[in-house]
Amino acid sequence: MSYFSGLFGIGKKQDDGKPRFIIVDEGTIRESCDEGDNRTRKRQRVDSDSSDRDNIFRFCPKVPLRPSLRPDVDGTEILIHDPTYYYAEDPQADCYVRVEKIIFKIHGHLLHMSKLLTSRVANRPAPTSGKDPLELFGVSVNEFRALLWARYASEEDAKDQPKAREDLERLLYLATVAKSLEFYELHEWAIQSMQKAFTANIVLTDTCSSANFTRVIEIATQYKATDLLDAAVSTWSDRVRRRDIPAVPAILAADTHKLPQLRGIAYYTHLLEAIEQSPPGTPTTLLRFQADPKLSDKQVIRLLAGHFSLVNFTERYRRCPVKLDRAEDCSTEAHRACTLVWSEQWQAAAGSRKVLGHSSADILGIFSGMSEQLNADVELVEGVTSACRLAGLESLKRNVVDARESLPQYFLGCL
């Protein structure tokens, strides 16, 4: 059966005798009243064990318990019709649901996919009404709207979701509310749809904000959605590396959720940005390093420790040529000449503008610069055998990959 053509059911809120009002438009406020249901109901006694069984807070781990939203000012409260999901003129819309101060009037059968809410419906002594709606706690209005979107959506509506940032944000709400209210199939569909988007929809992921990425990682971590987590981390890391999204939010998320891949590139990128943005030093003044104020003292120490480690490594790298392995068709005597020319040209490349133009902490920039410089070096072509030269250049390419993967180890802080 399709996710978008299912069943549903509802629970109960007791009538407290207080008048309730509905905002119809800017000039009209009326008392909430259902046709054919004007009788007065007495509050039914409910034992504490039964109340605990019906309480939905236990199914919503991220949202803490909170008190009733009933105002105590003048004995009245004003409830607002939801602009989208209040089907006032549809007699088949037989279910009233209250979330915060919003009233929804929907088709009750759409709620039957949830055993939790089906059970609550079965325990109600009377149908829901405008005065006696099913009241949901631990669920936000945006989350419940996302749930209703999914229950009313057609197959065409659901196809290729999410298509834009607004769709992604709705799926994030849906993943949370569907899990807490036990719409498990919808929860899985939301997680899988986001995972596919972060794997293949570059147009969408290139427009995601840091807040979008942070929320996706929170959801993926909370529900142990490892495929979604890996896809989101990979995409966010790539955008941070390209510097088209701030690095600091990525640092905060990586440290919170212990994500080494994201942590390495985020700290590294922010370090380079801080160096570039710092006022230039002179022979008589110190270089002032400006870290983002959102970082904690521990994170700033980690940043500075990374700077020290990176500078130390790149300085040694520039002075010490990568070992040139001997190719099978290169004799021992000939390889001595190859090694000598390789070492000489290595030093020349290390002193070139392409390499010296990078900060000493820019390990990826220096490695890439060395690779490009030596790849175009005419002296290597003439003085080193073709097989040995290719082996040396391949080792430089591996150095770039290895350096990218090892970035997290530079930012461990003081051990």
Give residue 24's pLDDT.
47
1-15: average pLDDT = 40
Q: Do residues 103 and 22 lie in contact, with contact meaning Cβ atoms separated by under 8 Å? A: yes
137-184 pLDDT, tens digit each: 999 999 999 999 999 999 999 999 999 999 999 999 999 999 999 999
Q: Is the pLDDT of residue 128 over 50?
A: yes
pTM: 0.77
More confident residue, 197 or 66: 197
- Give the pLDDT score at 284: 60
135 vs 63, more confident: 135
Strands 28-31 and 77-86: unpaired
3-state DSSP assignment of residue 128: coil
For 96-124, the pLDDT digits (tens) are 999 999 999 999 999 989 999 888 877 88
Among residues of the chain, what percentage have pLDDT more than 90? 67
Q: Measuring CA to CA, how many Å separate 309 from each of 142, 312, 410? A: 46, 5, 6
Sheet of 77-86: strands edge to edge? 28-31, 20-25, 77-86, 102-106, 95-99, 134-136
Q: Above 90 in pLDDT, residue 215? A: yes
Q: Is 325 exposed, middle or buried (0-12, 13-18, 19+ CB in 10 A)?
A: middle
What is the pLDDT at residue 122?
Answer: 75
Mean pLDDT of 59-84: 52
CA distances from residue 132 to 18, 50, 51, 82, 126 in whole angstroms, order as listed? 11, 19, 17, 16, 9
Please state, rounded to an integer, the average pLDDT across all residues of the chain: 83
Q: Give 388's pLDDT tier (boundaries 50, 70, 90).
A: very high
Average pLDDT over residues 361-379: 94
The pLDDT of residue 301 is 92
Q: Name the band, by pLDDT with cuts 50, 70 and 90, for residue 291.
A: confident
pLDDT of residue 229: 98
Task: Give residue 280's pLDDT.
Answer: 67
Q: Let me know: does 264 contact 410? Beta carbons within 8 Å.
A: yes
Q: Would you say residue 385 has pLDDT above 80? A: yes
Question: Which pLDDT belongs to residue 32?
Answer: 52
Task: Let me know: does 12 contact 97? Beta carbons within 8 Å.
Answer: no
Which are the contacts of 320, defined by CB distance < 8 A and separation ≥ 6?
none
Position 265 pLDDT exceeds 90? yes
Please check whether residue 267 is in contact with residue 303, taking contact to mean a CB–CB distance below 8 angstroms.
Answer: yes
CA atoms of 153 and 279, how far apart (whole Å): 55
The radius of gyration computed from the CA coordinates of the chain, to the nearest angstrom, equals 31
pLDDT digits (tens, 9 = 90+) for 328-353: 889 989 999 999 999 999 999 999 99
pLDDT of residue 286: 61
